[in-house]
Amino acid sequence: MSVRVERDADVERLARSLSEHEVRDFDLVIVLGSGLGSFAERLTAARRIPYAELDGMPASRVVGHAGELVIGELGRRRVLVQRGRVHLYEGWSAREVTRAVRAFCRAGAKAVVLTNAAGGLRREWPAGTLMRIRDHLALQGRAAVGAHERGATRVWDEELGRALELGARDAGVALESGVYAALPGPSYETPAEIRWLTDCGADAVGMSTALEAVAARAAGARVCGISLVTNQAAGIAPHALSHDEVVAAGAAASERFGAVLERAVPRLREVLAARA
């Protein structure tokens, strides 16, 4: 599958900076959500590049988003890991939120694994539940770059999703499946909003991922993802919600989350090789 990236001077500038920093020869990108950054420690022969060194790379100020790229090996193949993303609620535009994934596609990424911390809408899913993203509800009031492209409405790749499930099976970790609802934030949802989202078919809710998914798919990359349910949503959880809880839940689930991704990577590559 060829990779298409809408011409954008800022994307070109960032892609050029990636090349200058020798971020190349990779076909798989993993974007890490809040509290999930420790997965990067699993890479060998790793090299870290702070966002400040990359021309045009937006950097988040949210706790739990480290702000660096890690290029290294996992299963003897090069993988690019993004630790920290920017969000609409910080004041960034949709083009800025998706700039990194579009630049990664320009630099050679064939598949993008998007991860996030999310609130759970299923009463039977406790904090720490991992959910393979089967589809999403884009409720952020912004159109993703490339949303008009053919195929951009079928974003989440079933073959890659199955590879994630097989990786979870190999790791002996339960992996649920569901729909992720993306809201603009930065506030947590009210109980009434949670009831509405549940009626709409959502299983988890957060403030990221959907725009990146559509932009990466429109660029020709294949997309899959995992949500970590860090807390039960308002009206379900018996206590007030906080970002500290999100980060702490990510740390508590990091070993299971990392085991799933590490074992899924070879299976993801098998899927990519079959379509090459």
Rounded to the nearest 5°, which phi and psi values hold at 73? -115, 145
Q: Which two tokens stand for residue 260?
A: 């799933």
Q: Which residue has the tokens 């892609």?
A: 15
Task: Please write the tens of the pLDDT for every residue from 25-39.
Answer: 999 999 998 878 889
Q: Which two tokens stand for residue 227?
A: 């949500």
Beta-bridged to residue 231, according to DSSP, are: 119
| Helix (H) / strand (E) containing 78 | strand 77-83
Closest CA to 114 of 143, 144, 89: 144
pLDDT at 110 over 80: yes
Task: Please write the tens of the pLDDT for every residue from 155-178.
Answer: 999 999 999 999 999 999 999 999
Rounded to whole angstroms, the Cα distance separating 256 from 269 reads 21
- Domains of the chain with CATH codes: 9-275 (3.40.50.1580)
Beta strands in 104-237 (DSSP E): 111-120, 130-138, 176-182, 204-206, 222-232
Predicted confidence at residue 148, as pLDDT, reads 63
pLDDT at 215 over 90: yes
- In sequence order, what are the residues at sequence separation of 6 or more whose Cβ sits closer than 8 angstroms to the Cβ of residue 97? 58, 85, 86, 87, 88, 208, 211, 212
Task: Please write the tens of the pLDDT for every residue from 72-95.
Answer: 999 888 999 999 999 999 999 999
pLDDT at 1 over 50: no
Predicted confidence at residue 267, as pLDDT, reads 96
Predicted confidence at residue 241, as pLDDT, reads 56
What percent of the chain clears pLDDT 90, i.e. is strictly above it?
72
pLDDT at 65 over 90: no
